[in-house]
């Protein structure tokens, strides 16, 4: 029977005998822990800096980290599959560069924005199609190659130049406020977060994502179109990268081929700290959202008291490891 299962099927995914019984409890607890960290960080920050604890600062701070967070939403789906996409930083750069170049060539800004999103979709689709068509290749390899390739194309297009000069209203995305208080990006992100939350937890699409992450061969047998869903998710990831590109480009007012380098690791860290396991099948949107704000506020707060950035590096790294370590020790080892 096992042999039959293996034959003619995707083979690079592990079949896991997942114990479902106390999974839910585990995740509730994990997110509880995150919430504690989240609160602790706010208490610590407000002790450290007199400028931290007021509505204005707390809202304003979100402008510094929410651009990457868009990608974390869709990356959550990718990682629940047990896959990974490290090409997102390059996708941000490529879509941003193409948008700026087309705008400078005379395209109207709304059209340029649409092209930007299309570029992201295409980049994600290419990743997806390669991963689906060549099951021998893992997502790491495919997106590693396209990571180098996409950024390379951005360099070919813009070489050592910067492009920008966008219309004033475009600034609004990255710098604008609603009612002079709430950053536009926070509102946009909240909308996106709600959509992704519903998508993952309240739709059959979301359930299928978990099913594939847990056991894609079994999902295939139970009629889930694994390839199609994977393709959609990777395309979605490209789209979200392009969306992040819009906000980042607006923030900088101009763009270059070297923007957003290293974003992939930041995004993966956000997702993983949120309790999404890279071995697939596990994790919830709430955890990821908490972890986005934990990392963001931690960085911002430490920056506010001018802690050297290398110390912040150590703290973030240690936080990542210790939180996973604690969860492993408290709640037993992960799967397998």
267-306: which residues touch other proteins (CB under 8 A)?
Answer: 268-269, 272, 277-279, 286, 299-300, 303-304, 306
314 binds other proteins (CB under 8 A): yes
58 binds other proteins (CB under 8 A): yes
Q: What is the 3-state secondary structure (H, E, C) of the chain?
A: CHHHHHCCCCCCCCCCCCCCCCHHHHHHHHHHHHHHHHHHHHHHHHHHCCCCCCHHHHHHHHHHCHHHHHHHHHHHHHHHCCCCCCCHHHHHHHHHHHHHHHHHCCCCHHHHHHHHHHHHHHHHHHHHHHHHHCCCCCHHHHHHHHHHHHHHHHHHHHCCCCEECCCHHHHHHHHCEECCCEEHHHHHHHHHHHHHHHHHHHCHHHHHHHHHHHCHHHHHHCCCCHHHHHHHHHHHHHHHHHHHHHHHHHHHCEECCCCCCCHHHHHHHHHHHCCCCCCCCCCCHHHHHHHHHHHHHHHHHHHHCCCCHHHHHHHHHHHHHHHHHHHHHHHCCCCC
Nearer to other proteins, 147 or 236 (CB): 147
Of 15, 109, 217, 220, the residue at the interface with other proteins (CB under 8 A) is 15
Which 219-248 residues touch other proteins, going by CB under 8 A? 248
CB of 251 to other proteins, least distance (A): 6
User: Among residues 63, 115, 245, 294, which is the contact residue for other proteins, using CB under 8 A?
Assistant: 63
Q: Of residues 17-36, which lie at the interface with other proteins (CB under 8 A)?
A: 28, 31-32, 35
With contacts defined by CB under 8 A, how many residues of the chain interact with other proteins? 107
Footprint of other proteins on residues 140-169 (CB under 8 A)? Answer: 140-142, 144-153, 155-156, 159-162, 164
Contact positions with other proteins (CB under 8 A) in 80-99? 84
Q: Decide: is 49 part of the binding site for other proteins (CB under 8 A).
A: yes
């Amino acid at each position: 029977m096992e042999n039959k299962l293996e034959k003619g099927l995707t083979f690079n995914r592990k079949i896991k005998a997942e114990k479902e019984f106390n999974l839910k409890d585990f995740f509730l607890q994990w997110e509880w822990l995150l919430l504690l960290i989240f609160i602790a960080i706010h208490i610590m920050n407000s002790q450290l800096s007199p400028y931290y604890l007021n509505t204005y600062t707390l809202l304003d701070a979100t402008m510094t980290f929410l651009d990457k967070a868009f990608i974390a939403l869709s990356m959550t789906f990718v990682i629940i599959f047990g896959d990974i996409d490290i090409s997102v930083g390059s996708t941000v750069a490529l879509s941003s560069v193409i948008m700026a170049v087309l705008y400078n060539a005379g395209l109207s800004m709304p059209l340029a924005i649409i092209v930007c999103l299309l570029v992201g979709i295409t980049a994600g689709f290419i990743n997806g199609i390669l991963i689906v068509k060549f099951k021998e290749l893992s997502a790491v390899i495919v997106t590693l190659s396209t990571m180098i390739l996409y950024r390379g194309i951005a360099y070919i297009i813009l070489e050592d130049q910067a492009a920008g000069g966008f219309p004033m209203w475009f600034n609004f995305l990255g710098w604008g406020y609603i009612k002079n208080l709430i950053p536009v990006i926070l509102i946009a992100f909240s909308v996106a977060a709600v959509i992704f939350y519903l998508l993952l937890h309240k739709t059959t699409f979301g359930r299928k994502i978990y099913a594939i992450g847990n056991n894609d061969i079994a999902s295939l047998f139970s009629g889930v179109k694994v390839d199609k869903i994977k393709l959609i998710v990777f395309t979605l990831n490209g789209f979200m990268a392009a969306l992040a590109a819009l906000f980042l480009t607006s923030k900088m007012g101009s763009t270059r081929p070297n923007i957003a380098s290293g974003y992939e690791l930041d995004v993966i860290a956000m997702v993983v700290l949120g309790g999404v396991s890279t071995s697939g099948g596990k994790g919830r949107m709430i955890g990821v959202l908490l972890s986005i704000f934990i990392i963001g506020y931690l960085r911002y707060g430490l920056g506010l008291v001018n802690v050297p950035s290398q110390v912040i590096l150590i703290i973030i790294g240690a936080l990542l490891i210790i939180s996973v370590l604690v969860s492993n020790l408290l709640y037993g080892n992960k799967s397998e």
